[in-house]
Amino acid sequence: MVRSGHLSGTYSYQGIMEASFGYPGYVVLSLMQFVYPFIAMVSYNIVVGDTITKVSVRLFSLKATSLFARRDFVVGLATLFITIPLCLFRDLAKLARWSLASLVLVLFILMCILIRLGTIEETVPETEDAWAFADTGMVPAIGIMAFAFMCHHNVFLLYESIEGASQFVWDKLTHISVAVAFVVSLLFGIAGYATFTGNVQGDLLENYCWYDDLMNLARLAFSFTILLTYPIECLVTRSVLLQVLNAYHSTDKQHVGFTLAIVLITYFISITTDCLGVVLELNGVLAAVPLAFILPALSYLKLESGSIFSKQKLPALGLALFGVMVAFVGLIQILYAIQSGSVSKCMHGLAMPYCNKTQLNGTRN
């Protein structure tokens, strides 16, 4: 993308698409670039609702009818006192210190998951064919991974926030960052699945019992991680909206108004569902895959000189074809799963079957 920016002389995702495919390319990109972070914000609220409610129930021995055990109320408090103030920042660079804090918390959560990998294996029941290498769920999983690694929508916001930015500096930073993120994600995935196999939920922390205090600390840390990531997506969503409306230099009232509208709409959508896996899969195949694989590759193929089958362009061509295949097959599978009813595996608000209820009540007492 940065190479395409140099070729087109424009340093925005929309600018690259417009230089490559004209106004239709600009419109398609703007729509997807808005949808992806918007749905991501919804999923972040779902995670916060899942995790903080469990911590509150355990910490304060709350009843299910308590106000602080309700997802909508907990997410509303987090929105009011944490996400809205952070989302009101105009500059991505001002969120850098919060991003560092988020990274530290992620490493703490990973440590907790690795500890539990060797301590609760006897509690979790075995599932049949748990270690089959791949099945039909592989394609939606690629969509979820695309969601996890999709940062293309804020590439130039990040690029412009780097002092002395150049192609060399950018290449070095992105390769290191993505490599570290890959290793961490791999450890999360392998350790999480090895612990729960066929019982694993879309939100991994949903699998741990409510009385597990170590994992309650991890839940709390994860909630803060999500709350600190949320403003970055909000900034991108707001930026796309302002660009489409040609309001690059918004007044303070417009800035606050757009921010509040985006945050509140995502809040109300997020309290209508608690099934994180479906949200991530849909966002992955509908927005993340096109944004990460298809559109950057197509724009580069259009802007770079030479044959489409040249050695220089073959990687981009392969990337585009891969993205089209994953998006098409993934969408078909998700729609089939929704129609057949096999998508409803969410266990929010309920202790997992292998969590001993008597032990839970005894621990609380």
Cα–Cα distance for residue pair 128/299, rounded to 1 Å: 45
**Cα–Cα distances in angstroms (integers) from residue 193 to residues 52, 120, 131, 199, 202, in the given order:** 23, 13, 10, 9, 11
Distance CA 53, CA 205 (A): 12
Predicted confidence at residue 314, as pLDDT, reads: 93
DSSP 287: I
Q: What pLDDT was estimated at residue 242?
A: 84
**Taking 90 as the threshold, does the pLDDT of residue 322 lie above it?**
yes
Higher pLDDT, 341 or 191: 191
| pLDDT recorded at residue 364 | 42
Domains in the chain (CATH in brackets) are 1-124+139-356 (1.20.1740)
Q: Per-residue pLDDT tens for 287-319?
A: 888 998 999 999 999 999 989 999 889 999 999
Asked if residues 151 and 161 have their Cβ atoms less than 8 Å apart, the reply is no
Contact (Cβ atoms closer than 8 angstroms) between residue 10 and residue 16: yes
- Examine the pLDDT at 183 and tell me if it is beyond 50: yes
Q: How far apart are CA 91 and CA 83, in angstroms?
A: 15
Query: What's the CA gap between 171 and 316, in Å, rounded?
Result: 17
Q: Comparing 51-65, 208-222, 300-314, which segment has the lowest mean pLDDT?
A: 51-65
The backbone torsions φ and ψ at residue 330, rounded to the nearest 5 degrees and listed phi first, read -60, -45
Residue 123 or residue 157, greater confidence: 123
